[in-house]
Structure 1
Amino acid sequence: MNTKLTLTVEKSVIERAKAYAKHTGRSLSEIIENYLDMVTKEDPTTELSPKLKKIVGVVNLPHDFDEKKVLRAELGKKHL
């Protein structure tokens, strides 16, 4: 079931998002729905691939590194 959602977004962001949607042949609603679906999915049962298991622990990140914050910022850049 679809539900209407009202958002407040900077005008320039909306204009860029609409242009991106038109360029990719999708609706803005579809793009936003897919993004929200992606960032809210957390599947703790997903097993790490063997290749990923080999590199786990190779990178040392700062103690205060916020992975979710960085991911959201990068996905925002990628999708707009």
Structure 2
Amino acid sequence: MNTKLTLTIEESVIAKAKKYAKDKDRSLSDIIENYLKVLTNQPNSNPIELTPMVKSLKGSFSAPKNFDYKKELTKALSEKHL
């Protein structure tokens, strides 16, 4: 059973999506429905497999409990680009 769904999306995104759907000879509804099916059928418990390089680095750095990643990143980028 199909049910109508209303979405709020930027006009420019809608225009590009409609053109994409037309180029693929599909409806925008069909593309979105299939995308949502893929999203909802992915099992959440599958861990991402790490590459050997990442595995070797895992655990090599321990940040303090009060470490604010976003604050430190902003600081570092500001120093680099200003």
TM over 0.5: yes
**1:7 matched residue in structure 2:** 7
* Paired residue secondary structure (1:60): helix
**1:41 matched residue in structure 2:** 41
1:6-34 Cα shifts (integer Å, max 9, x gaps) = 00000000000000000000000000000
1:21-40 matched pairs, under 5 angstroms: 21-40=21-40
Identity level (%): 52
Gaps of 5+ in 1: 47-54, 64-80
- Inter-CA distance 58–13: structure 2 relative to 1 (3 Å threshold): same
Q: Which of 54, 59, 78 lines up with 1:60 in the alignment?
A: 54
- Inter-CA distance 3–59: structure 2 relative to 1 (3 Å threshold): farther
Instruction: For residue 58 of structure 1, report the CA deviation from its aligned partner.
Output: 2.2
Alignment size in residue pairs: 55
Instruction: For residue 60 of structure 1, report the CA deviation from its aligned partner.
Output: 1.5
**Relative contact order, higher structure (CA 8 A, sep 6+):** 1
Aligned-residue CA RMSD (Å)? 3.1
1:25-58 Cα shifts (integer Å, max 9, x gaps) = 00000000000000111347x9xxxxxxxx7542
**1:17 matched residue in structure 2:** 17
Instruction: State the AA in 1 paired with 2:37.
Output: D
- d(CA) in 1 for partners of 2:22, 2:52: 41
- d(CA) in 1 for partners of 2:10, 2:53: 36
